[in-house]
Amino acid sequence: MIRFDYNYFMDEHIGAEHGIGLSELEGVKGRAAAALARMEKERASGSLGFLGLPYDAKLVRDIKKFRSSTGSKFDSVAVIGIGGSALGAQALRASLAHLYLNELDKKKRAGACRTYFFDNVDPFEITSLGDVMDIKKTLFVVISKSGGTTETNANYAILLERLKKTVGKKFREHIVAITDPAKGVLRKISAQEDLATFPVPSNVGGRFSVLSAVGLLPAAFMGIDIAGLLRGARAGLERYYGKPLMENAPLLSAAFHYLFDTRRGKRISVLMPYTRKLFLFSDWYRQLWAESLGKNTNIHGAPTVAGLTPVPALGTIDQHSQAQLYLEGPNDKVITFLKLENFGRDVKIPDFYRGNPELDYISRKSLRALNGFEESATELALKMASRPSASIILPRLDSATVGEFIMFMELQTAYAGYLYDINPYDQPAVEQGKHFTFGLLSRPGYEKFRDAFEKEYKKSANFVL
């Protein structure tokens, strides 16, 4: 089971100027209770689909059936999607499949497919990935809840043309689309082409969709235990759902962030694992947290300023990088370590030029122990500098633990949105950038955005050196 250690968030450890006291937690209990009530109300109204995903045993069966129906036909998977339609699967690959899955030969992969992600508009990336992929042995997984995402459709168009050139009429067998069950152009063209499809339930938002087919289907092809993911998420949900503040770790963590922001002026939230296996979860969390909480209007229509800026960090690397700023720069950050207790492996550092006192102290030590010492040393240095930090402790790296962790972070984000009194499930500001892009691409209906762009996008040569 995951544990949340918030010792160094507390005033008794880091002082009252920067730490939070029990009385402040007491003071936020009313708001926390309102957050729980709002979640229950929204869940009961059917709008919080992410809370139902852990119970979808049929989806797991359908994905497994689809996976086995493809036999040994595919050796790699190309995921085409962006944001919530790509980041979760990337984090699952890093945490639960081999860290360098794509570099392993077939035998060592033991049935798991190489997985490539097309989640950007970048001619370098798409041509380079095109160079390493064997299209004949690739399943293309097109993921877009809306079906209308420009980046995804551009990449799909390019890859579909290559696929058709390579396999001809058999291209349909190489594609599975994951999209809204009824709406959108991807659903429409998939039906026209008679493609295999899986749904993204309409009440599940993109960034909350990793436990739907969006994350589970690619994960199944990576050899990940998808039933275990849902089992862990279920355990997390049942452990936390509806529990009061002091018994509900995701709610408590959300409340700390809310208090650090609104009472202590700390506007940056750092997520820092000490293993690369969990680093892409910092990326996933960055999107989940930023898109959910960065809102300027509350649910009553009043102006507000919500959301700490999420920053990914990786130990031990960032001890030689961002840690200097964390320790001596502005005291405006809330740091959460992601601690993995049992790495399930260790490496002994061999004797190394013995006789040199600068080197002797590392000889015959364990690499895992060194990792742990570095993490504790950073925690203590932060504590001594009165910088708040907490740890989410993962006992081991397996599907169930990762599933519980995903649910923890999703609940934490939703609760934080409720504490700020905002809607954590929309992203109105992102839409504006999309509309200007549509205008620039001359999409019918978006002429006014093109006109507005031409009027507003002015720059003076005086300010370019």
- Residues annotated as catalytic are 291, 320, 434
322-381 binders of ligand PA5 (CB under 6 A) = none
295 forms part of the interface with ligand PA5 (CB under 6 A):
no
296 vs 366, beta carbon nearer ligand PA5 = 296
The only residue of 19, 49, 54, 83 in contact with ligand PA5, by rule CB under 6 A: 83
Half-sphere CA count of 154, side-chain side, radius 13 A = 14
Say whether residue 93 binds ligand PA5 (CB under 6 A). Answer: no
Q: Does 145 bind ligand PA5 (CB under 6 A)?
A: yes
Q: Using CB under 6 A, which residues numbered 383 to 442 contact ligand PA5?
A: 427
CB of 439 vs ligand PA5, minimal distance in Å: 18
* Residue among 291, 318, 375, 379 that touches ligand PA5 (CB under 6 A): 291
Region from 4-12, 77-85, 116-124, 293-301 binding ligand PA5, contact rule CB under 6 A:
77-85
Residues between 192 and 211 with contacts to ligand PA5, criterion CB under 6 A: 205-207
**Binder to ligand PA5 among 82, 139, 195, 229 (CB under 6 A)?**
82
- Contact between 212 and ligand PA5 (CB under 6 A)? no
Q: How far is the CB of 274 from ligand PA5 (least distance, A)?
A: 27
Instruction: Report in angstroms how near the CB of residue 207 gets to ligand PA5 at its nearest.
Output: 3
Neighbouring C-alpha atoms within 13 Å toward the C-beta of 396: 6
Q: Which is nearer to ligand PA5, 82 or 97 (CB)?
A: 82
Contact window for ligand PA5 (CB under 6 A) among 42-50, 127-135, 144-152, 230-238: 144-152
Q: Is 233 in the site for ligand PA5 (CB under 6 A)?
A: no
Binding residues for ligand PA5, per CB under 6 A?
82-85, 144-146, 149, 152, 205-207, 291, 427
